[in-house]
Amino acid sequence: MKVLVIGSGGREHAMVWKLAQSPQVTEIYCAPGNGGIAKMAQCIDVAADDMEGLLTFAKDKAIDLTLVGPEVSLTLGVVDLFQGAGLRIFGPSKKAAALEGSKVFMKDLLAKYDIPSAQYASFTDRDQAMAYVEKIGAPLVVKADGLAAGKGVLVCQELSEARDAVDLVMTQRAFGDAGDEVIIEEFLPGEEASFIAFTDGHTILPLPTSQDHKAVYEGDTGPNTGGMGAYSPAPVVTPELHDQVMEQVMLPTVKALATEGCPYKGMLYAGLMIRDGVAKVLEFNCRFGDPEAQPLLMRLNNDLVDVVEAVIDGNLGSITLDIDSRPTVCVVMASGGYPASYAKGYPISGLDKAAGQEDVVVFHAGTAVEKGAIVNTGGRVLGVTAIDGDLEKAIDKAYAVVDMIHWQDCYFRRDIGKKALGRKKS
Ligand code: AMP
Ligand code: GLY
């Protein structure tokens, strides 16, 4: 079977790594891939948002199965395009991907079907948005409606910040068309967790719980990033809370989308805020999380092809997920300066030694091969992912490998997973 993976991050490296273990897979292609993926798959120079380029490649190569990593391909309609050409592809349609592509669509759907989330109002007019901000007061959250590479959410503790945020999105149009409409939403305190599941539109098979670390600095301080590390399971999601999320969030959302005429197939990712044993939805993503995919795929024992094909064929009910009971942790190594500007092109040392370590995989994100050496090319560069008998051991194992790897200005957090250790001891 010839498989194509779309994307170039750590998430896509983990997908390629998992597919490479399938006896059904004979060839793997990745568009566009990265320096690490190039060792396991044939990387092709087609961007994740180049719809025609992707379709032409898949038709020419007679690709049997395509897996999509990033939201941009999904919201541009890659699934509809491929299906229209008779190709098998895993992910939601363009209409269903609006769950991530439009926060207004998502919030209106949740409100209509009584799915727990923050109170909100949406505006296309800057003055009305500003008047609402004055009325409800800080803290509050301002969100651009459309995709903004993870930057369109502004958490405002002070009223002055909230006023600036509305102007940033609606007057200065910092996120372009994504800011045509804004959501102004109640600030929810609590602890976040990621709840990620496979669904064929009827059956929902949740992966184990996980938790990302979005802030750039230790102790969850500083600006938000794409994610500085993740671990699984996340003990903040107790078994009771797990049931609550399935009953009150996942099942009703999948049902609601079907009722609204956009049945959902693919990965469904709920970003949750948890407080006092109650979970509310902060966001939905229409794809695997990054970095969550790395620790989650390391715990999945099933052949990924079987699960993905069952989703496409609408018979996910025939699959049972086989999950490794051991915890996993992924520490992201980033370019110094990220999420703001950073220097690229520094050679990375220690990768050969790191590759020889048992139960640890170094997934690549922003890397490329230049003159035979692996160099950093992105903000998030590597995701060092380890599995062990308990979380503390998995953390130690991951950091032992992190300490083998180096490049100029490399940065990582030292406290990935520590929150869960504190929780277990208390
Ligand atoms: P999103 O892209 O919607 O997940 O938002 C990015 C981050 O902003 C989340 O992971 C939270 O840390 C924070 N956030 C979003 N909405 C809220 C909210 N209503 N209350 C508190 N924090 C929020
Ligand atoms: N880890 C956050 C995300 O994938 O959006």
DSSP state letters, 159-191: HHHHHHHHHHHHTS-TTGGGGSSEEEEE---SE
* pLDDT at position 424: 57
pLDDT in tens, 404-422: 999 999 999 999 999 999 7
Pocket test for ligand 1, best of 71, 99, 141 (most atoms within 8 A of CB): 141
In the chain, what are the domain boundaries?
A: 2-91, 119-186, 191-318, 328-421
Q: Atom of ligand 2 at shortest distance to CA of 289?
A: 4
Pocket test for ligand 1, best of 107, 175, 278, 282 (most atoms within 8 A of CB): 282
Please name which of 85, 87, 90 lies closest in space to residue 6, comparing C-alpha atoms.
Answer: 90
Assess contact for 412 and 381: CB atoms under 8 A.
no
pLDDT in tens, 190-209: 999 999 999 999 999 999 99
| CA distances, 217 to each of 228, 276, 425 (Å) | 9, 26, 23
Assess contact for 262 and 252: CB atoms under 8 A.
no
How many CB atoms sit inside 10 A of residue 311's CB?
21
Q: Which fold has domain 2-91?
A: Rossmann fold (3.40.50)
Dist. CA 250 → ligand 2 center (Å)? 17
Alpha helices, DSSP H only, in 178-291? 239-245, 251-259
pTM value is 0.96
How far apart, in whole angstroms, are the C-alpha atoms of residue 386 and residue 400?
10
Superfamily name and number for 191-318: ATP-grasp fold, B domain (3.30.470.20)
For ligand 2, say whether the CB of 285 is within 6 Å of any of its atoms: yes
* pLDDT at position 151: 81
The dihedral region occupied by 275, where left means phi > 0, alpha psi between -120 and 50, and beta the remainder, is beta
Assess contact for 100 and 106: CB atoms under 8 A.
yes
For ligand 2, say whether the CB of 100 is within 6 Å of any of its atoms: no
What CATH number was assigned to the domain covering residues 119-186? 3.30.1490.20
Query: Is beta strand 153-156 parallel, antiparallel or unpaired with respect to 65-68?
Result: unpaired
Which CATH architecture best describes the domain 328-421?
Alpha-Beta Complex (3.90)
How far apart, in whole angstroms, are the C-alpha atoms of residue 324 and residue 41?
25
For ligand 2, say whether the CB of 71 is within 6 Å of any of its atoms: no
* pLDDT at position 149: 79
Q: Atom 15 of ligand 1 has which residue's CA nearest to it?
A: 282
Pocket test for ligand 1, best of 169, 192, 212, 273 (most atoms within 8 A of CB): 273
Q: Which structure tokens are listed for 238?
A: 């107790």
| Helices 159-170, 126-136: crossing angle, 10 deg rounding | 160
Assess contact for 402 and 384: CB atoms under 8 A.
yes
User: How do the pLDDT tens digits run along the chain, 426 residues long?
Assistant: 999 999 999 999 999 999 999 999 999 999 999 999 999 999 999 999 999 999 999 999 999 999 999 999 999 999 999 999 999 999 999 999 999 999 999 999 999 999 999 999 999 999 999 999 999 999 999 999 999 877 889 999 999 999 999 999 999 998 988 889 999 999 999 999 999 999 999 999 999 999 999 999 999 999 889 999 999 999 999 999 999 999 999 999 999 999 999 999 999 999 999 999 999 999 999 999 999 999 999 999 999 999 999 999 999 999 999 999 999 999 999 999 999 999 999 999 999 999 999 999 999 999 999 999 999 999 999 999 999 999 999 999 999 999 999 999 999 999 999 999 977 543
